[in-house]
């Protein structure tokens, strides 16, 4: 099959392209390289059946060739981008998604859009099911991303129904693994780089807030299964194994040599208190659940950071 992947230079985008190429598909990758890594693109370009197009999807795409599936992963997603790239995030989630839908309508392509667990905001339901509408601050410091992704889901739902475009929506929870950007501001790269440097691991607040971490190969498998399924409702993809940030920091200290202390710093506004996916829908309709436990995944990730980051 010929497939399109936007955001191909990003962390999950790279791993998705790698898996699709390994499966024998032809892949056209699109990225504007604003937050993606050129190293990822160069490594993909070395593979047969991969072609790269540098482009910002907030501008109309001139690609007219037919694809079986277009995977849309294009959007800055790191908290450090929520300030300087806030308008770019909103543009990608609105004009960018609209452009992707227009492309899919013209070429008869199915769209797989990657949404996020952040559509649930700081949830009052735990674990989070797809039926939960969320608890989001529409004018807070995270609103460009949270509300941008919520708008994208509304746009896809209405556009797909009106124009009869096939679309699938994955709500991705925290994902980790090799090739994460060391400077992307997320908790795992922060902890690992601090640990290897022998610096204190900075835990926001008292660290009682929880997260659920899914290894990237499991996430990619879920995305592909959803793209090839008949499921038209949003589907949570993530690992239900929940851990507090404080305990997570302690795990990383052990894995990076055990020399770092833990320092508590001010917690960002609107930082979610709880995060754990209910993956019943994914289990029932996709036959999917994570296979890589946190011990395995963290060992692989820490080793990669030690060698390459």
Query: Tell me, what CATH number does 24's domain have?
Result: 3.40.50.720
Q: Give me the percent of the chain exceeding a pLDDT of 70.
A: 100
Could you tell me the residue range of the domain that residue 98 belongs to?
2-176+215-239+276-291
Does any domain span residue 10? yes
The per-residue pLDDT for 65 is 86
The arithmetic mean of pLDDT across residues 96-104, rounded, is 98
Residue 202 tokens, joined: 């900075």
Does any domain span residue 265? no
Q: Which residues, other chains included, contact 264 with Cβ-Cβ below 8 Å and sequence gap of 6+?
A: 202, 203, 204, 205, 206, 207
Does any domain span residue 205? no
The arithmetic mean of pLDDT across residues 200-213, rounded, is 97
Domain count, the chain: 1
The number of beta carbons lying within 10 Å of the beta carbon of residue 19 is: 17
**Is 308 tagged catalytic?**
no
Does any domain span residue 207? no
The arithmetic mean of pLDDT across residues 254-268, rounded, is 95
The number of beta carbons lying within 10 Å of the beta carbon of residue 256 is: 21
The per-residue pLDDT for 184 is 85
The per-residue pLDDT for 10 is 97
pLDDT tens digits along 145-164: 999 999 999 999 999 999 99
Asked if the model's pLDDT at residue 246 lies above 90, the reply is yes
Does any domain span residue 271? no
| 211 contacts 242 by C-beta, under 8 angstroms | yes
The per-residue pLDDT for 43 is 98
243 DSSP β-pair partners? 211
152 vs 259: which has the higher pLDDT:
152
pLDDT tens digits along 5-64: 999 999 999 999 999 999 999 999 999 999 999 999 999 999 999 999 999 999 999 888
The per-residue pLDDT for 229 is 98
Asked if the model's pLDDT at residue 102 lies above 80, the reply is yes
Residue 303 tokens, joined: 């080793």
The arithmetic mean of pLDDT across residues 216-228, rounded, is 98
**How far apart are alpha carbons 66 and 210 in whole angstroms?**
42
Does any domain span residue 111? yes
Backbone angles phi, psi at 24, to 5 degrees: 95, 10
**How far apart are alpha carbons 201 and 192 in whole angstroms?**
8
**What's the Cα-to-Cα distance from 254 to each of 132, 211, 214, rounded to whole Å?**
36, 19, 20
The per-residue pLDDT for 64 is 82
- pLDDT, the chain, mean: 96
Does any domain span residue 68? yes
Does any domain span residue 261? no
**How far apart are alpha carbons 252 and 184 in whole angstroms?**
17
From the candidates 14, 120, 145, 159, give the one annotated as an active-site residue.
Answer: 145
The arithmetic mean of pLDDT across residues 269-283, rounded, is 96
The arithmetic mean of pLDDT across residues 211-218, rounded, is 98
| 28 contacts 55 by C-beta, under 8 angstroms | no
| 41 contacts 8 by C-beta, under 8 angstroms | yes
**How far apart are alpha carbons 30 and 8 in whole angstroms?**
6
Q: Which residues, other chains included, contact 75 with Cβ-Cβ below 8 Å and sequence gap of 6+?
A: 7, 89, 92, 93, 96, 114, 145, 148, 149
The per-residue pLDDT for 185 is 87
The arithmetic mean of pLDDT across residues 58-71, rounded, is 93
**How far apart are alpha carbons 130 and 143 in whole angstroms?**
20
Which residue reads 């204190």 in tokens?
200
């Amino acid at each position: 099959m010929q497939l399109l992947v936007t955001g191909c230079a990003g962390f999950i985008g790279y791993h998705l392209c790698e898996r699709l190429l390994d499966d024998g598909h032809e892949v056209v990758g699109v990225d504007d390289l604003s937050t993606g890594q050129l190293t990822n693109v160069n490594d993909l370009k070395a593979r047969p059946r991969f072609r790269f197009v540098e482009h910002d999807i907030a501008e109309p795409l001139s690609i007219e060739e037919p694809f079986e599936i277009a995977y849309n992963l294009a959007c800055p997603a790191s908290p450090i981008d929520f300030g300087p790239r806030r308008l770019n995030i909103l543009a990608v989630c609105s004009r960018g998604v609209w452009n992707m839908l227009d492309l899919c309508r013209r070429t008869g392509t199915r769209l797989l859009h990657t949404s996020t667990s952040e559509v649930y905001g700081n949830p009052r339901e735990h674990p989070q099911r797809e039926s939960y509408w969320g608890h989001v601050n529409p004018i807070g410091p995270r609103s460009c991303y949270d509300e941008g992704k919520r708008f994208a889901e509304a746009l896809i739902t209405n556009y797909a129904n009106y124009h009869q475009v096939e679309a699938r929506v994955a709500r991705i929870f925290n994902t980790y693994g090799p090739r994460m950007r060391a400077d992307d501001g997320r908790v795992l790269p922060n902890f690992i780089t601090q640990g290897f440097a022998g610096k204190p691991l900075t835990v926001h607040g008292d660290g009682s807030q929880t997260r659920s971490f899914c290894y990237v190969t499991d996430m990619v498998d879920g995305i592909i299964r959803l793209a090839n399924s008949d499921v038209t409702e949003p589907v949570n993809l993530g690992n239900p194994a929940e851990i507090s940030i404080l305990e997570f920091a302690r795990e990383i200290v052990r894995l990076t040599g055990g020399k770092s202390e833990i320092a508590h710093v001010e917690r960002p506004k609107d930082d979610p208190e709880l995060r754990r996916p209910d993956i019943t829908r994914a289990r029932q309709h996709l036959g999917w659940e994570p296979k890589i436990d946190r011990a395995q995944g963290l060992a692989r990730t820490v080793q990669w950071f030690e060698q390459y980051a």
